[in-house]
């Protein structure tokens, strides 16, 4: 049990369950967030939200989707 504690400690984890009900663990980066479509818009519009350096990459991805 101690080894499992050492592996899981000091990280963020996303727990989901597959179709059989088996848990799936995925480590989540410290700077990651969970967003609904509405929250994405708020995050982009907020003064302390999305990094300005990220906006051009985001716009490019949107442009690629619109083609």
What integer pLDDT is reported at residue 63 of this predicted model?
Answer: 96
pTM comes to 0.51
Model pLDDT, residue 8: 74
Identify the pLDDT of residue 6. 72
Which pLDDT score, from 0 to 100, does residue 17 have? 96
Q: What is the mean pLDDT of the chain?
A: 88
DSSP string, the chain: -HHHHHHHTTSEEEEEE-TTS-EEEEEE-TT-----HHHHHHHHHSTTSS-GGGHHHHHHHHHHHH-
- Which pLDDT does position 3 carry in this prediction? 76
Regions in the chain scoring below 70 on pLDDT: 1
């Amino acid at each position: 049990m101690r080894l499992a504690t050492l592996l899981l400690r000091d990280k963020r984890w996303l727990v989901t369950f597959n179709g059989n009900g088996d848990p799936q663990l995925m480590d989540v980066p410290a700077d990651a967030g969970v967003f609904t479509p509405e929250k994405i818009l708020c995050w982009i519009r907020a003064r302390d939200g999305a990094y300005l350096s990220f906006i051009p990459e985001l716009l490019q991805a949107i442009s690629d989707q619109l083609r």
